[in-house]
Amino acid sequence: MAFTRMQNSGVAPVVRSFPAVSDRSAKILVLGSMPGKASLSAKQYYAHPRNLFWPIIGQMTGAILELPYENRVALLQKSGVALWDVLQSCTRSGSLDSDIKNEVPNDLTSFLKNHSKITTICFNGNKARECFERHFPDLMAARAYRFLALPSTSPAHASMTYEQKLESWKTIL
């Protein structure tokens, strides 16, 4: 929603997540930690030009990067995939997950109750998984979902090739 700057205070700005991209027929929930600066600026999930989310998910759902954002989102929903972030807000000076502080989680418990067809929860990177485990231990313990920890599609996670990430991500479908 917003990237709020604090002028000359030396305090990291508060950043806020977007609303979920979902409909009631979703079977898979892909969770990130918090959108980066490029995404916040564009008001689109995974907007950084080197983020591999859309190229990877596009191969599986047809939501290819060349399509307008609204079309990609519609194809994701048609494929039963929902997107959201574990965190509703945090303070962070850049885009790195390692800089996240003062976490406030989204209400994933209510979201999952209202999206009862979701059976698989995927984490786009370790930070999303760690935040989920910290804020929602009851959901982890309930074992009502299949959890998949996937390699981050962020350009900051460069230790894996596109092909390696794609192979891991194919497990969601």
What CATH number should be reported for the domain holding residue 52?
3.40.470.10
Q: Does a structural domain hold residue 4?
A: no
Q: Does a structural domain hold residue 45?
A: yes
Q: What share of the chain is helix, strand, coil (3-state, %, to 5)?
A: 35, 20, 45
Interatomic CA distance for residues 132 and 108, integer angstroms: 9
Q: Does a structural domain hold residue 121?
A: yes
Query: pTM for the whole thing?
Result: 0.90
Q: Does a structural domain hold residue 5?
A: no
Q: Does a structural domain hold residue 1?
A: no
Q: Which ranges of the chain have pLDDT less than 50?
A: 1-8
124 in active site:
no
**Predicted pLDDT at 142:** 84
How confident is the model over 89-127, as pLDDT tens digits?
999 887 666 778 899 999 999 999 999 999 999 999 999
Cα 28 from chain centre = 12
Q: Does a structural domain hold residue 3?
A: no
Query: For residues 40 and 90, is the Cβ–Cβ distance under 8 A?
Result: no
**Predicted pLDDT at 169:** 96
Domain count within the chain: 1
Interatomic CA distance for residues 28 and 20, integer angstroms: 13
Q: Does a structural domain hold residue 109?
A: yes
Q: Does a structural domain hold residue 111?
A: yes
Identify the domain containing residue 148 by its residue range.
14-172
Q: Which long-range contacts (CB under 8 A, 24 or more apart) does 140-143 make?
A: none
Catalytic residue among 51, 106, 114, 126: 51
